[in-house]
Amino acid sequence: MPIVKVNHASIYYEVNGDGPAVTFAHGAGGNTLVWWQQVPYFARDYKVVVFDHRGFGRSPCDEGYKHARYFADDLKAVLDDAGVARTALVCQSMGGWTGMHFTMAHPEAVSCLVLSGTPGGVMTPKIAEARDARARSRAAESSAVRPWNESHWALAEGAFERNPTLSYLYGIMSGLNAPLGDTGTGELGIPPEKLQGFSTPTLMIGGEKDRIFPIEALEEVSQIIPGAKLHRVADSGHSPYFEAAEEFNRVAGEFISRHAV
């Protein structure tokens, strides 16, 4: 599979299918593998690009360079290497920072933007509250070992009891990553005034049981990103693309089909 070297990192990516491009940017709990329910679905009609962020999955980087400030440039390098001049972007959680910063820097290269379980770095009072709460929770988790049969923080509470196979799968996929550490997304907040003139069609998809970015916080962001709409997934936590893939694929697919040219 292709690898592109950029800014002290080797970025792993995959391309499947033909047609207009759709690129997926995973979150901090994921890597290319977490899109297993999206790649076969979208590759029927699109050229699908998935990649591992630096320091995740199969994208090693030099010490000190696992930082979100490089993510948008990494994505640009991947798309250039793959010969993709314009793409729809689907971004989960941390990947939302990648997608928003890339879109703001290269609006001509993005046909539309799907933000899943993420504010994309847009800072609002409710997002700040959620960020601080997550930091406290992560500090507590760092000294504890999560049992194999406990729902991952990126899924809804009780996810293991409802679907143990899917929940366990997410945990072992996430476990392939190196220790998370601080990716620096907190340093890359986007104040609302920076979005003046933002015109990329944007769909936000949020789980009503999200323990990271509560749906009320994502609603607040959707009212700030010009033209953005929010779709709520009732039975999902932080990862609707994983927990409710059929609904996610349908909703995201309908949106992308209207804009991916």
What is the mean pLDDT for each group of 10 consecutive residues in the chain (261 residues)?
Answer: 93 98 96 98 98 97 94 98 98 97 97 97 90 64 56 85 91 88 83 94 97 95 96 96 97 95 70
User: pLDDT by residue (tens digit) across 192-222?
Assistant: 999 999 999 999 999 999 999 999 999 999 9
- What is the three-state SS of the chain? CCEEEECCEEEEEEEECCCCEEEEECCCCCCHHHHCCCHHHHCCCCEEEEECCCCCCCCCECCCCCCHHHHHHHHHHHHHHHCCCCEEEEEECHHHHHHHHHHHHCHHHEEEEEEECCCCCECCHHHHHHHHHHHHHHHHHCCCCCCCCCCCCCCCCCHHHHCHHHHHHHHHHHCCCCCCCCCCHHHHCECHHHHCCCCCCEEEEEECCCCCCCHHHHHHHHCCCCCCEEEEECCCCCCHHHHCHHHHHHHHHHHHHHHCC
**pLDDT mean across residues, the chain:** 92
Task: Check residue 153 and give its pLDDT.
Answer: 82
* Candidate CATH numbers 3.40.50.720, 3.10.180.10, 3.40.50.2300, 3.40.50.1820; the one for domain 3-259: 3.40.50.1820
pTM of the predicted model over 0.85: yes
Burial (CB count within 10 angstroms: exposed 0-12, middle 13-18, buried 19+), residue 57? buried
Predicted confidence at residue 73, as pLDDT, reads: 97
Of all residues in the chain, what percent are helix, strand and coil, respectively (each to 5)? 40, 20, 40
Say what the pLDDT of residue 117 is.
97
